[in-house]
Amino acid sequence: MVASALFIMDLKGKIIISRNYRGDIPMTVSERFATYLQEKEESEQRPIFTEEGCTFAYLKYNNLFLLSVTKRNSNVALMLVYLSRLVDVFKEYFGELEEESIRDNFVIIYELMDETMDFGYPQTTEAKILREYITQEGNRLEAAPRPPVALTNTVSWRSEGIKHRKNEIFLDVIEKLNLLVSANGTVLHSEIIGAIRMKSFLSGMPELKLGLNDKLMFEASGRAVSASTKGKAIELEDIKFHQCVRLARFENDRTISFIPPDGEFDLMTYRLSTQVKPLIWVEAVVEPHSHSRIEYMIKAKSQFKSRSIANNVDIIIPVPSDVDTPSFKASIGTVTYLPDKDAIVWGIKQFHGQREYLMRAHFGLPSIAAEGSSANATEKCWKKPVQIKFEIPYFTVSGIQVRYLKIIEKSGFAALPWVRYITCAGDVYLRMGT
Amino acid sequence: MSISSTINQITRNARAAVGQIGGGSDSRFFHNTSKKGETHELREELQSQNKDKKRDAVKKVIANMTVGKDVSMLFTDVVNCIQTANVELKKLVYLYIINYAKSNPDLALLAVNTFCKDANDANPLIRALAVRTMGCIRVDRIVEYLCEPLARALRDDDPYVRKTAAVCVAKLYDISPDMVEDRGFLDVLRDLICDSNPTVVANAVAALSEIQETSGQDVILITGSVLQKLLAALNECTEWGQVYILDALSRYEPADEVEAEGIVERVTPRLQHANSAVVMSAIKVVLGYMELCNPDVVRTLTRKLAPPLVTLLNSEPEIQYVALRNINLIVQKRPAILEHEIKVFFCKYNDPIYVKMEKLEIIIRLASDRNAEQVLLELKEYAQEVDVDFVRRAVRAIGRTAIKLERAAERCINVLLELIQTKVNYVVQEAIIVIKDIFRRYPNRYEQVIAALCENLETLDEPEAKASMIWIIGEYADRIENADELLDSFFLDSFLEETPQVQLQLLTATVKIFLKQPAETQALVQRVLNMATEGTDNPDLRDRGFIYWRLLSHSPQVARAVVLGEKPTIADDTFALEPALLDQLIHQLATLSSIYHKPPEAFVVRMAVPVGHVTGGVGEEYDDDLEYLEGEIGVIGAAKGPSKQAAGSGNGGGTGGEVDLLDLGGVDEAPPATTGGKDGGLDDILGGGGSNGGGTAGSSQANTQVDRPLVCTPEQGGGIGIRAALRQEGGGIFCDMTFQNTGPTPFQVLAIKFNVNTFGITPASPQIAFPAPVPQGGATNYVLPLTFAPSMVASGAPPSLQLQTAVKNMASGHVFYFAIPYDLSVLFAASGQTDRAGFIPAWKAIDDANEVTTLAGSLPPALSSPDAVVSRLGSRHVAFVARRPVPGTTQESLYLSAVTVTTPPVHFLVEITLQAGVASAKLAVKSQSQTLAPMACAAIEGLLRN
């Protein structure tokens, strides 16, 4: 039901480090994986495949493959989630996971592989707890460390006896907007993926309770929505909690209560798919003149309140791969041509609400079409969707609000929560003309 | 070099700047890994008295191990470092022992003392480490020493040690199940389910679940109190532990509605967990138990399940893939859950291709009259993307939507026509293929588009598209003014170069045209019949040509009835999984089984030789096969049942087949049909016009019953009993078949199709046509030529010596399924000889893990001399290479080789050791294919015995 072996490999399938957990497969199976990568067209590759009785399940991360192999009808969801968690652990230990950082830390990676998985069963993947007894050379103790109690405790993510001189807690409410708009301006799909990210620096074993303007919670607590809040209550479609949150309690009366891990973590993520109008609307008029030139006229319009500002706006417009001699004219910001991405990027540092800007781009096209590229191929290039990136601080699309954060600890310290809101673009795509 | 080192420097500085504790620089230990003469140096360092030097030396050894260098010769020296207070060093030495113990079992014993001592250490971390590591050393003699420390560890005061010990019981069971049972460790594990520590409970559940899976016995024994313990631990243990408990719960069958609902209530909060694996296992439990819940609860749960399923699509693409394959099952089982969520499955531009393909499948499953408009717009968008495979799938999807939703069919046709206007070659071809299906689903409704299709005749270059277009022309010849000219000018000149698929279509289409417009097309049909019967070597094409010829000359009326007979329409194949299989798969959510949509038995290899293995009845390939079979049947122009029914009986056949195989266990070793039997069959087919098949068949019947095993009983085949065996002749593979009719109605034409299989064997033609109908009580022989097609290779599935076969009786429309077992030796090519010089390097080049040996005792006395063995095997295409006496004994070793006729060929190298005068032999077979080697070994043993 689990993994037989684990490999971390480079993009060619060469092993960088590996661990055989069950001894029921030869480690040479990795060669079959390398062959698979070479022989299968990329469009035919799947993250899970079986060859001669061995099943390979892998994740791609940076320039690495994390691969686990099994001979049984294993829980592949578990295998893949474990791999992604392992990446998180390594990142927390080494900053970034790449070939070099693995070599630099191979001793500790072996230790982590041994501790996070036993006989193919994931054990503990809490980097903060692992760090208490698997340490890097810099702060190695002479005496052998003992396993932290938290390892096997109900509260497996926090050790006892944490002390902070200043007790503080920060909450970032970050909303990502995923939006897909058809060429005629219809919103095909829009959803908000929100996260409440905490940075907790609290002493002892604090009990926390978080209050949101959650409609269902108001209903559960029997309060009338309008009487208890000034703002409106919102309805979250799905919520996922960090393992520290007591799920049964939430299920019962929608109370979010927990003992937080120390440091940074995502307390919860939520999703809602309300119809929002695109915060930044882009219209593109493209005039291709075969074999001579192609012209773009791009109009960008902000559709949020005038006192808000969108920062670092990037509007990425696809262009054919064989264009030359770019020239741009924009009423604001800068335009860059990225030949390797076959796109132009219109960057606007600050985009105020309720404004509208224009940009024109002009390219030459080769007079003779390249071998094999028909007019159709050119057409496809500029029909890729336009992508938009932005960040809008002090604003959430959903209107979610943190109403309170109660902190109870037996030492009775006082700590103020700091709350920030920000909205940014996730996958925002506007399809181009049909 | 300089650039990369600069970058390294920058990265390091950056890390230092952000205050990472990281930045260890163990990479220096790799610097010498390629140096020669290092072993000696390392050995000295390992023996050094200086602690730091010693530790660094061990690190160097591990670095060597990491890059794949064999450092096993340092075993003694490394093990001598085991006595250390430094935990880091101890772990490295332990890791080294795990890796090399197997190759140094004697030396590994040196470490046992330390393990036992460490298992009594005051520090729980060391105690657990010792037990955990001992369990990983799969050396029998060490295992004996493991029991004592393990028994203690299971009762340790520290939960960390207990949870490690719980997993260790599963390790021990894997090596020696008897020892686990003798020592009563199973009972201890069951006690641990009631442990006060939730992590211990979770690991005990994991260990018991694994033992349950391996042994097939119910070892967890979930009782009322155990259930309460599990549910309590579910709230308290780590996220991984929750998965183990949920998976165990999913295998439990609640006693009644009350219990089921009670458990579901405790499980649903898990749907809110951030860990996708927890969520998926929770969904599995809920869906499994829903069967027992009352309708109100089911409604509530249906509502609750949608949001977490949708949220899974926000995880990493690889996990999304797992989620989507699972959702595919869920929407089949409970369509209500996601019926309003189709939009979330719309593809994002930057989704990886494997995610897009899965989303497309789900879009089709969720398509309904309500959302058809939107779905079509979306599919049209995809049909204009860049990725060719995805575009093709999108076009197919439009066709499938049309077949599924009658009311949307017209709009689908219009979209397809628009796509054809784009003139993008592969889009046009794909569109024509699906339009053919739409015509078959809604006959006589959309013929007005034929003109538009005909404009693209010259661009067609793919066989399937050509075949589809030709079918359309033939079928609607009376509405196309110049149908005969179209065929003539675009296809007939190249008739002989076309693929069989296209040729068959051309033949049928020409006959259809002739029947519709006899006056103008007589010359045409004559020409095509001539080409089909005389110009080609394809027996299938020839057969069909002869049938038509005879039909036409016998009675145009009958020919009309047969060729232009009304065809039943095809049905939507979207819901292809059989309910029983679907239920089984719902209980397998999140596992591999749910990815492949096949039961675990289909791909999990438990035994060394997977004999009698049935690859699942369904799944993607199988769907395609059915489509293919349907296509072919449609081509023949005879009756065809709705595909849903076909798929359904397919699954039934799969399970039935398994039972059959057990009965036929011995048949695998039966010799391939000898030449005597098959000649009659050949005569039958080529015997030509006048002779009646029945008579010939009767004469050879007695003969065949001996040689050909019964593969399909008359009950299975709806009155058709089939015996079949594979045979090789002149490098070609043939299937000798005997058909017996026990039913009331005669049959004459059958369609046959194999499932994907190990070697990609497929019938050269999908049709079996007898020269005369087989009457009730009659029997006839048939030789089915086989070929190898790469597209038919079952990649990923374990090898199997069976051909899963689907046969359709064209007269009754009955489709039935069975398996034809065959012996690997049938596939050995006559040219299997390896030259003497090449043999030894080839033998050495193959990993020892791929060597299979067996002792074949009590062979026939005739085989007691090496010469007899050589000549016996030589006659069966296992070619002799060399022989030599084994020094110091009276034995002699023979070296032989064999190669299969498959594409690509598989080579086997064989060593047989014989003792003069003793009728037994030691066989060793090596092959690059680890899984085929045991089969070849068994096959060669079989050759010796017969």
Helix or strand or coil: residue B378?
Answer: helix
Identify whether residues B839 and B814 lie together within a single domain.
Answer: no
Output the six-digit token pair for B517: 């417009």
Tell me, yes or no, if the two domains A5-151 and A168-276+397-430 fold the same way.
no
Determine the distance in angstroms separating the CA of A306 from the nearest CA of chain B, rounded to an integer.
30
Which helix (H) or strand (E) is A239 found in, with range? strand A238-241
Cβ atoms of B438 and B446 within 8 Å: the answer is yes
Contact B346 A180 (CB under 8 A): yes
Residue B241: closest C-alpha in chain A: A123
Q: B316 CB contacts (<8 Å, ≥6 apart)?
A: A59, A80, A84
**Residue A80 in contact with partner chain B when CB distance is under 8 A:** yes
Identify whether residues B290 and B431 lie together within a single domain.
Answer: no
Total domains in the fold of chain B? 4
Identify whether residues B810 and B837 lie together within a single domain.
Answer: no
Determine the distance in angstroms separating the CA of B319 from the nearest CA of chain A, rounded to an integer.
6
Strand partners, A118: A121
Give the long-range contacts of residues A179-184, CB within 8 A, separation 24 or more: A179/A276, A179/A278, A179/A425, A179/A426, A179/A427, A179/A428, A179/A429, A180/A427, A180/A429, A180/A431, A180/B346, A180/B348, A181/A278, A181/A429, A181/A430, A181/A431, A182/A431, A182/B377, A182/B381, A183/A430, A183/A431, A183/A432, A183/A433, A183/A434
Contact B353 A146 (CB under 8 A): no
Contact map slice: A 106-135 vs B, CB within 8 A: 106-108, 110-111, 114, 118-119, 121-125, 133
Q: What pLDDT does B573 receive?
A: 66
Q: Over 90: is that where the pLDDT of B273 sits?
A: yes
Q: What pLDDT does A123 receive?
A: 95
Q: What pLDDT does B281 receive?
A: 97
- Return the domain boundaries, chain A: 5-151, 168-276+397-430, 280-393
Identify whether residues B443 and B375 lie together within a single domain.
Answer: yes
Identify whether residues B653 and B794 lie together within a single domain.
Answer: yes
Identify whether residues B840 and B812 lie together within a single domain.
Answer: no
| Best residue of B30, B55, B66 to probe chain A, by most A CBs closer than 10 Å | B66
Cβ atoms of A117 and A4 within 8 Å: the answer is no
Output the six-digit token pair for B695: 């008579």
Contact B238 A248 (CB under 8 A): no
* Residue B919: closest CA among B885, B944, B890, B900: B944
Q: What pLDDT does B320 receive?
A: 97
The answer to the question of residue B636 being in a domain is no
Q: What pLDDT does A273 receive?
A: 82
The answer to the question of residue B432 being in a domain is yes
Q: Give mean pLDDT, residues B131-152.
A: 90
Pick from B98-102, B130-134, B784-788 the range whose average pLDDT is largest. Answer: B130-134
User: Per CATH, is A5-151 categorized as 3.40.47.10?
Assistant: no
The pTM for the full model equals 0.73
Determine the distance in angstroms separating the CA of A103 from the nearest CA of chain B, rounded to an integer.
5
Identify whether residues B868 and B882 lie together within a single domain.
Answer: yes
**Residue A144 in contact with partner chain B when CB distance is under 8 A:** yes
Q: What pLDDT does B802 receive?
A: 85
Q: What pLDDT does A379 receive?
A: 56
Q: What pLDDT does B644 receive?
A: 36
Q: Give mean pLDDT, residues A61-68.
A: 95
Other Cβ atoms closer than 10 A to B249: 25
Task: Quickly name the fold that domain A168-276+397-430 has.
Answer: Immunoglobulin-like (2.60.40)
The answer to the question of residue B550 being in a domain is no
Q: A402 CB contacts (<8 Å, ≥6 apart)?
A: A171, A173, A196, A210, A211, A212, A417, A419
Identify whether residues B292 and B389 lie together within a single domain.
Answer: no
Q: Which domain holds residue B303?
A: 230-338
Q: Which of A379-383, B540-544, B939-943 shows the lowest per-residue confidence on average (mean pLDDT)?
A: A379-383
Q: What pLDDT does B158 receive?
A: 94
The answer to the question of residue B670 being in a domain is yes
Judging contacts by C-beta atoms under 8 Å, the chain B residues touching residue A127 are none
Q: Give mean pLDDT, residues B487-515.
A: 89
The enclosing domain of B932 has a CATH number of: 3.30.310.10
Identify whether residues B285 and B391 lie together within a single domain.
Answer: no
The tens digit of pLDDT for each residue in B206-219 reads 999 999 988 888 88
Q: Over 50: is that where the pLDDT of B11 sits?
A: no
The tens digit of pLDDT for each residue in B319-350 reads 999 999 999 999 999 999 999 999 999 998 88
Q: Give mean pLDDT, residues B882-905.
A: 81
Judging contacts by C-beta atoms under 8 Å, the chain B residues touching residue A380 are 384-386
The tens digit of pLDDT for each residue in B639-658 reads 333 333 333 333 333 333 33
What gap in Å lies between CA B749 and CA B668, rounded to an integer? Answer: 29
Identify whether residues B899 and B751 lie together within a single domain.
Answer: no
* Residue A101: closest CA among B27, B6, B10: B27
| Best residue of A114, A152, A176, A216 to probe chain B, by most B CBs closer than 10 Å | A152
The answer to the question of residue B80 being in a domain is no
Contact B125 A119 (CB under 8 A): no
The tens digit of pLDDT for each residue in A354-387 reads 999 999 999 998 877 654 445 555 555 557 889 9
Q: What pLDDT does B13 receive?
A: 46
Q: Which of B293, B319, B338 is the last residue of a domain?
A: B338
The tens digit of pLDDT for each residue in B601-640 reads 888 865 333 333 333 333 333 333 333 333 333 333 333 3
Q: Which of B436, B459, B482 is the last residue of a domain?
A: B459
Q: What pLDDT does B628 receive?
A: 38
Percent of chain B at pLDDT above 70? Answer: 85
The enclosing domain of B684 has a CATH number of: 2.60.40.1150
Q: Which of B822, B841, B872 is the last residue of a domain?
A: B822
Identify whether residues B854 and B923 lie together within a single domain.
Answer: yes
Q: Give mean pLDDT, residues A381-405.
A: 88
Judging contacts by C-beta atoms under 8 Å, the chain A residues touching residue B349 are 384-385, 387, 429
Selecting from 3.10.620.30, 2.60.40.1170, 3.40.50.1220, 2.40.30.30, what CATH number does the domain A280-393 have? 2.60.40.1170
The tens digit of pLDDT for each residue in B296-314 reads 999 999 999 999 999 999 9
Q: What pLDDT does B809 receive?
A: 83
Output the six-digit token pair for A58: 């892998």
The tens digit of pLDDT for each residue in B672-729 reads 333 333 333 333 333 333 333 333 333 333 333 446 888 888 888 888 888 888 888 7
Residue B63: closest C-alpha in chain A: A106
Residue A72: closest C-alpha in chain B: B604
The answer to the question of residue B62 being in a domain is no
Q: What pLDDT does A376 receive?
A: 54
Cβ atoms of B148 and B136 within 8 Å: the answer is no
Cβ atoms of B379 and B415 within 8 Å: the answer is yes
State the pLDDT confidence band at A172, using cuts at 50, 70 and 90: very high
* Residue B371: closest CA among A160, A218, A101, A189: A189
Q: What pLDDT does B432 receive?
A: 94
| Best residue of A21, A78, A125, A244 to probe chain B, by most B CBs closer than 10 Å | A78
Q: Over 90: is that where the pLDDT of B377 sits?
A: yes
Q: Over 80: is that where the pLDDT of B525 sits?
A: yes
Q: What pLDDT does B614 receive?
A: 34
Q: B160 CB contacts (<8 Å, ≥6 apart)?
A: A147, A151, A152, B124, B125, B128
The answer to the question of residue B582 being in a domain is no
**Residue of B273, B378, B390 with shortest CB distance to A240:** B273
Q: What pLDDT does B765 receive?
A: 83
Identify whether residues B864 and B930 lie together within a single domain.
Answer: yes
The answer to the question of residue B770 being in a domain is yes
